[in-house]
Amino acid sequence: MEEINVLEAFLGKAPQLTFSLVGLEAGQVGILAGAGGVGKGFLAIQLAATVADTSSNLDFLHIVKERGQVGYLAAEDSSAILKSRIYSFGKYLESRFKRNVVEEIITAIDLNMSVISVVGDMPDIKNRDWQKFLYNFAKGKKLIILDTLRRFSDLDENNSKEMSFALNFFEHIATNTGCSIILTHHLNKYSLKTRIRSS
């Protein structure tokens, strides 16, 4: 908790803001949401790889502001699926870059990106051991991605109190480690229809 000195804010220098991604300040939480099956997992892997590419050859969607250590935790996809996505991404790189550049990119990503499938491990953000694991996993990283939010607890997504707990928990980690966190989230059919009608 920090009280802002209002007069100092008016008269002092504007603070230098640091962003991990366009629109996502370092040490903050963001959500990547969409319907199931639209490719959020593949998009998240590409985003993680771009942040991990300290050779700076990748400029995926032109949104990466800081590069460095990245963690990707998949609670919905098996190791085989993750390996398949990484392999496909490698083939995409080979089609786009010269061989020596691909080697630079892959070497940087290998050094900076940790990808873990926690399928079958019953991840639960209400559990103390999982809370410690996630906090330690975020330490020293620029970004972690959790895919998907609903698989990291049995909290009711339609209950604002329970979702407040989840967001407060992830904000606590992000604020205290300086690591940005992206949570992928499935939108259900009802919320998609509501959004389409209100557009």
Give Cα 78 to chain centroid, integer Å. 18
- Domain membership of residue 56 (yes or no) is yes
Whether the CB-CB separation of 152 and 77 falls below 8 Å is answered with no
| Token pair in block for residue 35 | 């319907």
Q: How far apart are CA 128 and CA 125, in angstroms?
A: 8
Number of structural domains the chain divides into: 1
Range(s) of the domain holding residue 69: 20-198
Q: Which residues pair with 114 in a beta bridge?
A: 71
**pLDDT at position 2:** 85
pTM for the structure as a whole = 0.89
Residue 122, pLDDT > 50, answer yes
Tell me how far the alpha carbon of residue 38 is from its chain's centroid: 17
Residue pLDDT, tens place only, 14-23: 888 899 999 9
Q: DSSP 3-state assignment of 116?
A: strand
Q: List the beta bridge partners of residue 185.
A: 33
**CATH code of 140's domain:** 3.40.50.300
Is 6 part of a structural domain of the chain? no
Q: What is the pLDDT of residue 61?
A: 81
**Is residue 199 scored above 60 in pLDDT?**
no
Query: What angle do helix axes 99-112 and 79-96 make, rounded to 10 degrees?
Result: 150
In a domain, residue 163? The reply is yes
Q: Does a structural domain hold residue 14?
A: no
> Which of 38-42, 62-66, 109-113, 121-125 is predicted with the least confidence, judged by mean pLDDT?
38-42
For residues 27 and 39, which has the higher predicted lDDT (pLDDT)? 27
- Inform me whether the pLDDT recorded for 89 exceeds 90: yes
- Give dist(CA 165, CA 173) in Å, integer: 13
Residue type, 2: E
| C-beta of residue 35 within 8 angstroms of C-beta of residue 48 | no
| Tokens matching residue 36 | 């199931």
- 4 in any annotated domain: no
- Give the chain's largest Cα–Cα span: 56
Q: Is the pLDDT of residue 136 over 70?
A: yes
